[in-house]
Amino acid sequence: MKIAAYQMESVPGDVAANLAKIERAAREAAAKGASILIAPELALTGYGAGRAVREKAETSEGAQVARLAEIAAETGVAILAGFSERDGETLRNSAVYVDGEAVPTIYRKCNLYGPYERGLFEQAKPEAVTFERGGLKFGILICYDVEFPENVRRLAKAGVDVVLVPTALPASDHDAFIARKLVPVRAFENQVFLAYVDHCGADERFAYTGLSVIVAPDGTLLAEAGETGEALLVAELDPSRYQASAEANSYLADLTS
């Protein structure tokens, strides 16, 4: 099957505009034969939107998730996108998977990054959130979560073939190391596909790295975006092509604890 990763420049605080962007990307992904579209962390509000992240937070039963489900049903492309999830007075940095039919699958970030996130959200407990599509099993993480090897290993031990990671990686002196070195290592050491999907451009708080990537289980890059500009990456996922890599690098089978 094919998946699509949308490196996106969200409009801060404008949920309608961001849903429209995701709809256009989903239609393009469908035309290219993709079954799933991944959008970045907090794609619906914009990551650095500050007060709007709180004011426009919704439950998983709200209009934002309902619209994503409609887009998925209309295009035939399942969607994973980051959103600000409200639970009473509690906010969580979450990602929702919709396929247009089933009840939405929600993942909540378990490793919040920096004072900005910790000032907005409540950290969730680590868990293996998975779903299946096209004969493959997928797991979800968000941004900083993937930098902890335990989180990816938890999903690998749960039997996933693919890890999907909406992210908002800010520009720094080590951003390329994370996107081009650390992320492929996570795929290799667990022998899974991994899609790492970033914002691009800047808002009033952050400039973003871009450098979105889809990685194979042997660590090779199947598709990659540059530092600037929106991009739609599409890659075919076929685990049978990487059976030799899984046999030669049998970390899970050889794990002693």
Residues belonging to the active site: 41, 109, 143
Alpha carbon distance, N-terminus to C-terminus of the chain: 33
d(CA 187, CA 251): 12
Beta strands in 8-72 (DSSP E): 36-38
d(CA 144, CA 166): 10
d(CA 113, CA 11): 21
Residue of 35, 43, 39, 50 lying closest to 18 (CA atoms): 43
Name the DSSP letter for residue 8.
B
Q: What is the DSSP string of 121-138?
A: -PPPPP---EEEETTEEE
